[in-house]
Structure 1
Amino acid sequence: MNLFNRVVSSRRQAPPVPPQRPAGAPASPTAVLPDPQLTNLTGEWVVDPAHSRIGFSVRHAMVTTVRGCFLEYESRLYFDARDPARSRADITLFTSSVDTGVEQRDAHLVGRDFLDAATYPRMRFTSTGVEQTGSDLFRMSGELTIKGVSRPVVLDLTYIGHVTDPFGYERAGFDGTTTINRSDWGLTYNSRLAEGGAMVSEKVRLQLDIAAIRMAPSAG
């Protein structure tokens, strides 16, 4: 009954009957409608270090958060707009380039207690699969290798946009994040607080703010 109409029918109208799905028939899946701009992205890309950040954050002394990033890395990306599952990423980080803004802390991180950069100068993420979960959302599975240990991780990615800059370079932006347990990669060093908690949390949040530049097609 519509209470906002001045004239109200004296006969109550039966609600429309929705069409019935045949017994045993599967429910229709919800289609993921891609952002129209994504159709322009098919091709090879490389991360632009000057406008990107591959970082991390970890709880310290139970009451504060330390943030850092890796300043040097190599990357190779491929995006397939028609079939996102064929997209892939390969990023190698140089462990000695870790930067948290405190020189003494950085020296500890690259030492044997943590990354052991002298023995393991690189850490690497290689994708194994991509799933589109929304118009601008993706889930990228892959293997993360730290100190010679490779374990699966899943990155949640958000597509930010695609532009051509004033210098003629095509740029695409993605944000990504995942949380890992550092002990799974042998980063087990810790010290205990008087209150009984850990000085450094086991959980580390990885954060990728990616500005990628399209690579020119190979000659020939």
Structure 2
Amino acid sequence: MAKWNIDLAHSAINFQVKHMMVSKVKGVFDSYSADIEAEDLTDLTTANIQFGINTASINTRNEDRDNHLKSGDFFDADSYPTITFKSTSITKKSDDAYAVTGDLTIKDVTKSVTFDTEFNGKGTNPWGQDVYGFEAETSINREEFGLTWNAALETGGVLVGKDIKVIVELEVNPA
């Protein structure tokens, strides 16, 4: 099995959630790492994938909101500094589409999630190194992971939606 690196300058872990039932708040995690091993990244079914995300690196472009998300009301980043994902199976759905299933752990809760993953292609960078692109997406119910804080709105509904869309964009190259 070959090891692969994520090009952090050309990759991102993004998320979005409904705010006040009418708009979406979007954000990223600025610090993360991955261990990726695969025989051939053009056939993702050969891969073993693990991610570690620094919870305190959450960034929604609003310092007060970020501090609230890091607090015990949400991620409790001091007690749970890392969100992890470890693939358990990868199934090819079509030529460039895969279902990447694995164990996602947030705080002390682990649940199986599946990322719909697309292989975006292979290229060669200006230094002659092969690069591979992927985009993966899933939705999780944050309350299932113990992220239950919310506030009722006077007009009905709640401040923060339950469903979180997670979008992972990766550029990968040989280690």
**TM-score after normalising by structure 2:** 0.95
Q: Structure 1 or 2: larger strand share? A: 2
Q: What residue number does 1:110 align with?
A: 70
1:96 counterpart residue number: 56
**Whole-Å separation in 2 of the counterparts to 1:147 and 1:153:** 15
Shift of 1:169: 2.6
Structure 1 unmatched ranges of 5 or more: 1-41, 216-220
RMSD: 1.4
Q: Give a deviation string over 1:114-153, Cα, whole Å, max 9, x none.
A: 1110000001010000000000000011000000211100
Name the residue aligned to 2:35: 76
Q: Determine whether 1:43 maps to 2:13.
A: no
| Paired amino acid for 2:4 | W
Task: Give distance in 1, aligned partners of 2:37 and 2:55.
Answer: 24
Gaps of 5+ in 2: none
1:130-209 → structure 2 map (5 Å cutoff): 130-209=90-169
Task: Report how far residue 83 of structure 1 moved.
Answer: 6.6
Aligned residue pairs total 174
The sequence identity of aligned pairs, in percent, is: 34
In the alignment, does 2:53 pair up with 1:60? no
Shift of 1:168: 2.7
1:123 counterpart residue number: 83
Task: Check whether the contact 1:142–1:153 (CA below 8 A) recurs between aligned residues.
Answer: yes
* TM-fit CA distance, 1:199: 0.4
Q: Which has the higher contact order (CA 8 A, sep 6+)?
A: 2
Q: TM-score, normalised by structure 1?
A: 0.76
Runs of 4+ aligned structure 1 residues displaced above 6 Å come to none
